[in-house]
Amino acid sequence: MELQKAIDKRHSLRKYAAGEIPEADIRAMVDAANKAPSADNQQNWHFVIVRDRKAIDAFAKVVSQKNAELCEKMQDAAPDKAARFGKLCKAVSLFFNDAQLLAIVYGREWDPSSYDYVKTAGGDEETLANLKYRTRQGSLSVGAAMENFNLKAEELGYGCCWMTSANYAADDVEALVKKLSGYSEEGYHVAALMPVGIRATEGHGPKKKGVDEVMTII
Amino acid 188: pLDDT: 97
Q: At what angle do helices 137-156 and 23-34 cross, to 10 degrees?
A: 140
Burial track 20-29 (b if 16+ CB lie within 10 A, e otherwise): ebeeebbebb
| pLDDT digit string, tens, across residues 108-150 | 998 888 999 999 999 999 999 999 888 888 999 999 999 999 9
Question: Per-residue pLDDT for 196 more than 80?
Answer: yes
| pLDDT digit string, tens, across residues 162-174 | 899 999 999 999 9
Question: Per-residue pLDDT for 33 more than 90?
Answer: yes
- Closest by CA to 38, choosing from 141, 174, 175, 139, is 141
Amino acid 155: pLDDT: 94
